[in-house]
Amino acid sequence: MKPFDDYPGGGTTLIGPVTGANCRYEYGLKFMKKTGQTRCAYCELDLAANYHNWLTMALDHVVPQSVCRKMGVPAEWQEDCANKVLACAACNSFDNRYKPAAEEAAPLTVQAFLALRDKVFAERKNRILDRHRRERDFFDRRPWHNG
């Protein structure tokens, strides 16, 4: 299941942008109200469950702005909430320099862009979860202990 399935229109249409200068007080909060999402789309951390989680909230472009610009994707599509997901700070930082594995054809319709979004989301989610596993392995070795 993709987070977009629960967006207005089932993630198959543009749903409008959100604006503001701060994720927790403005654009992220507006996004939560618009989509009903409260969890990190990648690791499913509930960002509204407690204060610590709330502080880690970020709003992630699924198809990154740099990729959209390179492909000539209209700004309206790239900034729409349909191309965004909530993310915790860790997941947002793990794959924030995403580049498509292969040359993708520039989407010419909203539907083609949303299909690209779904493909990129699946690829990024797998990469992010793999990074979580590697980070967990490193953490579990307790490298800060002597010996």
DSSP letter string, 37-74: --B-TTT--BTTSSHHHHHTEEEEESS-HHHHHHHT--
Please tell me the distance from the alpha carbon of residue 58 to that of residue 60, in angstroms, as a whole number. Answer: 6
pLDDT score at 83: 98
- Helix and strand tally (H, E) in the chain? 6, 2
pLDDT score at 3: 95
> Which of 138, 51, 124, 65 lies closest to 93, judged by CA?
124
pLDDT score at 63: 95
pLDDT means per 10 residues, the chain with 147 residues, are 92 96 96 96 97 97 93 96 97 84 85 96 94 96 84
pLDDT score at 100: 76
pLDDT score at 147: 61
